[in-house]
Structure 1
Amino acid sequence: MKKYIFSFLLLSGAGAVHAQYVTAKGNDATTPLHLLKPDYPVPYGAPSVEAVKEVLIRIHHYLDSTTPAKFVDRRTGAEVKNVSAPDTNIAFKQGDFRLTSYEWGVTYSGMLLATEATGDNRFADYTKERVNFIADAVPAFRTLYQKNPNPANPLRQPVAPHALDDVGAVCAAMIKTLRAGGKASIRPLVDSYMDYVSNKEFRLPDGTLARNRPQKNTLWLDDLYMSVPALAQMGKLTGDKKYYDDAVKQILQFSKRMFNPGKGLYMHGWVQDMEVHPEFRWGRANGWALMAMTELLDVLPETHEGRKAVLEQFKAHVKGLAQYQSSKGFWHQLLDRDDSYLETSATAIYVYCIARAINKGWIDKMAYSPMCLLGWNAVATQVNKAGQVENTCVGTGMGFDPAFYYYRPVNVFAAHGYGPVILAGAEVINMLKNYTFDINDSSVQLKK
């Protein structure tokens, strides 16, 4: 039963007294107005480290049980443990998600970070088991593909990539795994992935990574994440400046064409031959761009001549995004259209990147911590009891009308939600360890 608080407003000139009904959950008629408790639609305030970790454990349990690292015979369903000489009847054991997809590259990175944040090895073990499993199997399946280029080859993406989606995010995660103690067999696959990014993907004459679909000479904002983290991690792994240089170039040249400084947001797609570019500011694509900058700033040397420009671009984007967070803590599917639905994966990406930036000292902790925690609390409501992430937009191409984005379906089997939520939770745990928060009086004290 709802309780109502009565307050009275004397209207000057009319002399009339009007009753105002205030719905106030948890209050009663004797509560002074200044002590009324707000009826927040999502949890408000700083969560505990234990509460955040519990969400991550729930997701891990679901994914560990539904993404097996096993091969089976398509005809019989029997497990195949020896794949040194595979044939076309070998497949991954059926799971809810694909172990070699770019979405799972994000998930692998998230699991590694979750162990860093919590000290719980179950998360990193998830990644190491699957990345090592893939890297060990690739040589045999590459030989099979060379003999029989069957697209049903379960390792077609790593052995014969067709696009940045096939390589970049997984490559970045594999380099992180290698640095975290993964098997040496990962390195040849990393080199193969990087050869594709650096030498085989289509580029515009100025070196900007591009696609020839849906029209020729097209930029997809998503491709910043499908390339820059791999380039950045390869720079860290090898010390070769050329990878950092290319990563910085991609950020700045994409931004020159696709960033709207007035709004502080990116458009999703850019087509060279278009005189007018429809600016649909899709949430997750803006997330990929922000996360690409985050990953680059993580490893880009302080002395690199491009670091200042990338950091300034990152700050401009965060400032822009801050304007569009909803009252419930989520961001919208189309960021600047608040009648589009509230979307989980984009919100999780922003939470991760903002928390990371606060922890690294790149942005003002006083200005951005409260919205970051509000965002995490919102995201946590979308992880159901089974550990599935709800209200994540499915895979999305480039559109040139609003309906295309407004009505994209959401689904718990949209793989794009899992990695971002794990990353967000892990980095929020780091933030909670670094700072104490009192949201209501906007004070943030550094613990150490």
Structure 2
Amino acid sequence: MKKLTSLCLGLTLAAGAIAQPAPDDAAIVKKVADYVIAHTAFTFTGDNQQTYRKSTDIPDNVQARISDQLSSWHYPNGVLNIAMTDLGRYLNEAKYSQFAQQHIAFAFDNYQVFEARSKKGIKYKGFPFNQLIHTRVLDDCGAMGASVIDVYQTVQRPVYKTYIDKVIRHISQVQERLPDGTLCRPNPFRWTIWGDDLYMSIPFLARAGKLTGNTALFDDAVAQVHHFTKYLWDEKAGLYAHYYYEDLKRQGPAHWGRANGWIMMAKVQLLNNLPDNHPGKKEIIAELTRQILGVAPYQSASGLFHQVLDRTDSYTETSCTAMFVYAIARAVNEGWLDKRYITIAERGWDGIVKEKIQADGQLKDVCIGTNISADIAFYYNRPTELNDFHGLGPVIEAGIEIMRYRKKS
């Protein structure tokens, strides 16, 4: 009888544990997105402490800046715009898509004032919309350009199409490349290949190919995946190095989490747009699968991934974890990856929800913007900032794909 009682008690406890409701993934994602909406002003702040809704209202003698980082024009804003557009579409809630539309409109409605005054010798601290006005590298235009294409599907302002064409010309004809066609940077050393740049180019190229019907843009995007893998893939580790020094013919020392995340997300964004009959599609799926299988052994017990992926004494980092969750869950949802691998994404998502999302929707432990370095300690010591905008878009995208999977299941 005692054994039977113990068995029944055990079964009751087990049933109770199973019966506990899972966190509401939609509510969690919306909490993050709603925080973004509530804290994005789309205004300018003058050194006279005045707030201006339009750039034309700023007097010539007043120094002004964009009021908040979420209103600025920088590649993480593009990633966020894409995610908000996707969230609005998935939940059928217009306010999220409208955020991206408002962000793009804010820039295009105001940048010309700063451009004109700059030509007259008036300089502003912080250079509002500098990357929109002076496109120099992929950071300036790739991710933001991709988000402009997403918005252009709904809001077809001619100025948006003009900008899209400008970015096509920049990436295809202006941006520096190695002799084999690999996109690279002119600094801090000539010529350096950054893993980040696969995301700063491919999501735009893939969307632009779909928008224009120019298959050469698809071909270039597929080629870039192969080029970057050639220079950055570390076969022994099963991970990508952050960068490659062309002058030294040498990879960097760190398998930085977010660089690997950028690369994985870029492959997924390419597959999202690449025609099924494109000869490179199976190759990209194979490259994505290899990367997923490579990163999987480095997942921690909490489901999170580390700032330096193969160094467990580095901190667990939110943005790279979210990028892997998004990419793996998306690959399963689209049938590019066997569904048995969804547990990697689910454990990662549950770790983010448990440890990295605050009650008010802010994100913890997001590494700030990061340059390249020849010493591993640089990556260990990169600070994190609460709600740094590098993590917002990836976390929202990760949540969408987890919702999609769990809804189907």
- After TM superposition, the score normalised by the length of structure 2 is 0.90
Deviation per CA, 1:210-244, whole angstroms, max 9, x where unpaired? 11323221111101111111111111111101211
Bigger share in helix = 2
- Offset, 1:32: 8.0
Alignment partners' CA distance in 1, 2:81 and 2:347: 25
Alignment partners' CA distance in 2, 1:44 and 1:171: 46
Identify the match of residue 235 of structure 2 among 256, 261, 272: 261
Structure 1 counterpart SS, 2:367? coil
In structure 2, runs of 5+ residues without a counterpart are: 1-5
Alignment partners' CA distance in 2, 1:327 and 1:34: 26
Q: Is the contact made by 2:63 and 2:124 (CA closer than 8 Å) also made in structure 1?
A: no
Which amino acid is the alignment partner of residue 100 of structure 2?
Answer: T
Cross-structure match for 1:377 = 350
- The sequence identity of aligned pairs, in percent, is 34
- Offset, 1:99: 2.2
* Cα RMSD, aligned residues only: 2.8
Identify the match of residue 56 of structure 2 among 66, 78, 83: 83
Structure 1 counterpart SS, 2:56? coil
After TM superposition, list the pairs within 5 Å mapping 1:346-361 onto structure 2.
346-361=320-335
Alignment partners' CA distance in 2, 1:79 and 1:290: 40
- Offset, 1:262: 3.5
Cross-structure match for 1:104 = 77
After TM superposition, list the pairs within 5 Å mapping 1:17-32 onto structure 2.
none
Which amino acid is the alignment partner of residue 351 of structure 2?
Answer: A
Q: Is the contact made by 1:157 and 1:166 (CA closer than 8 Å) also made in structure 2?
A: yes
Higher RCO (CA < 8 A, seq sep 6+) = 1
Cross-structure match for 1:176 = 150
Q: Is the contact made by 1:47 and 1:377 (CA closer than 8 Å) also made in structure 2?
A: no
Cross-structure match for 1:54 = 27
Is 1:338 equivalent to 2:312 in the alignment?
yes
Identify the match of residue 123 of structure 1 among 60, 77, 96: 96
Is 1:308 equivalent to 2:256 in the alignment?
no
- Offset, 1:85: 9.8
Please tell me whether Structure 1 or Structure 2 has the larger radius of gyration of its CA atoms. 1
Taking a change above 3 Å as real, the CA distance of residues 92 and 47 of structure 1, as seen in their structure-2 partners, is farther
Taking a change above 3 Å as real, the CA distance of residues 166 and 149 of structure 1, as seen in their structure-2 partners, is farther
- Offset, 1:86: 8.3
Q: Is the contact made by 2:54 and 2:110 (CA closer than 8 Å) also made in structure 1?
A: no
Between the two proteins, the alignment pairs up a number of residues equal to: 402
Higher mean displacement: 185-194 or 393-402:
185-194
Is 1:432 equivalent to 2:406 in the alignment?
yes
Deviation per CA, 1:288-309, whole angstroms, max 9, x where unpaired? 0001111111111122222222
After TM superposition, list the pairs within 5 Å mapping 1:382-393 onto structure 2.
382-393=356-367
Taking a change above 3 Å as real, the CA distance of residues 87 and 187 of structure 1, as seen in their structure-2 partners, is farther
Q: Is the contact made by 2:79 and 2:393 (CA closer than 8 Å) also made in structure 1?
A: yes
Alignment partners' CA distance in 2, 1:87 and 1:245: 47
Alignment partners' CA distance in 1, 2:251 and 2:52: 51
After TM superposition, list the pairs within 5 Å mapping 1:42-441 onto structure 2.
47=22, 51-75=24-48, 77-81=50-54, 83=56, 87=60, 89=62, 91-148=64-121, 150=123, 152=125, 153-181=127-155, 183-366=157-340, 368-381=341-354, 382-434=356-408, 436=409
- Offset, 1:186: 2.0
Which amino acid is the alignment partner of residue 70 of structure 1?
Answer: T
